[in-house]
Amino acid sequence: MEKYIFKKSKGKYIWQGPELKLVFSGMTFQAFDDCGYVSSTEDFLYLYYTVQIYVHERGYDKNGKVTRHWKLVTAKSTYDFPSITILQQILQHYVNDDIPEKDCGVIHYYDDGEIIEDRIGYVYSMDTDRWFCEDYYQVERFILKEQDKEIRREYSLYAGCSIDFHGGSPSIGVKAVISENGIQCLLTCVTEFLNDGIDDHNQATREFLSQETYSVDTAGRIVKTENGKVTEMFLKNDVVDSVHIYCGDLNSDSFYSDSYHQVKISDITENGITITGGYCQRDSSDYNEEDVENRKLFISCKNIFFIFSDITEEVLTLDEQGIADEFRTVLTGDELAEIRNSDVEAMYQKWYEVIVDRYIIFRDEHPFRKIKKNDRKNAMEAVRTVIEILRALSF
């Protein structure tokens, strides 16, 4: 019996037969809900991975002895048109043996010009896509019957990669005859590759969402803290572009994310914020069914994973003086005193990210004194100027 092997090694998922070897690795994907639980490939929006295709090539050593080694025929890092999920479905059809005989092509055998009535071959072929095929697979099954009894069953597998960067139809690949065991083994390889990628994604999402990065500080402001440093700051009555939260139990298989847009932070309490107005991204949300004036929702800090500042014309018309005047109202008396009495560079490092986020500092519309279009360095200098102005205005 031909031997087929599936193994995992250093992030690679390897299927190997007597003549052909496929190696899948580097799986990443974006889900329709990128911060929600992913249950299957149907939740994928975009999928990326690398496939390598090898052939068991024969050769001779210097003594004329036959040698064999695995030769890489082709490889592809999928970008637009990955085919592995379709390959999984194709393999599952064959393993389930749910293909009606009437759907198969028929091969007749002849003897002295006459059809042999009780000897018929049945052929069924399935492939991924002939036109857009960064990686392309075709699996064909052949069944030979005599007197209505199956006497032989075999499969052939073609695996190839497009020679076109965007997945045009021509491909380079290998075709090999494989057994039913080979089909089952390949299905196991492909399924574990996809399922492990989903599991890794869900675990990473849980870890990300479990980090309580937003909190309410002693001054009653909602702040985001990274590595002990405040990087974002929002106040009561701020209107923000969006608030992104997760809903459900992170330890379950049913958590998902929601986003609320163009909302006002109408209140900030010890444990969270109340938002009003705006709308929820999900059209079916009860929040959207309320009149805009009546929309109101309390959100716990632990459920927030992103807040994006609102990009308004008013914010984008501020120069350094205008930013300093507004930012002064955000800070406490103690913070203003610290700015006045501390080193400029230290205060620049402390407040740089908050100012950048709150005032969308790198947008070209700001009439900064020295800034040139798309000049990041001069935009950073504008933050220093804001700090210097605050030092002069602190008392």
pLDDT digits (tens, 9 = 90+) for 52-91: 999 998 877 777 787 789 999 999 999 888 999 999 999 9
In this structure, are 140 and 274 located in the same domain? no
Query: Tens of pLDDT along 342-354?
Result: 999 999 999 999 9
Residues 165 and 301 in one domain: no
- Write down the pTM of the prediction: 0.86
287 Cβ contact partners less than 8 Å away, ≥ 6 residues apart: 260, 279, 280, 295, 297
Is 212 part of a structural domain of the chain? no
Cβ–Cβ < 8 Å for 226, 60: no
Domain end call among 260, 290, 310: 310
Any domain includes 29: yes
Q: Which two tokens stand for residue 189?
A: 């390889």
| Amino acid making up residue 86 | I
The answer to whether position 219 is within a domain reads no
Asked if residue 139 and residue 274 are part of one domain, the reply reads: no
Mean pLDDT of the chain: 91
- Pair 244, 377 in one domain: no
| Six token digits for residue 144 | 């030979």
Unique residue bearing structure tokens 């701020």: 238
Q: What per-residue confidence (pLDDT) applies to 375?
A: 60
Domain that holds residue 264: 235-310
Mean pLDDT of the region 371-393: 78
Burial of 16 (0-12, 13-18, 19+ CB in 10 A): buried
C-beta separation of 50 from 77 below 8 A: yes
Residue 274, both tokens: 């109340």
Task: State the total domains in the chain.
Answer: 3
SS3 321: helix
Higher per-residue pLDDT: 281 or 259: 259
Question: Cα(324)–Cα(165) distance, rounded to whole angstroms?
Answer: 50
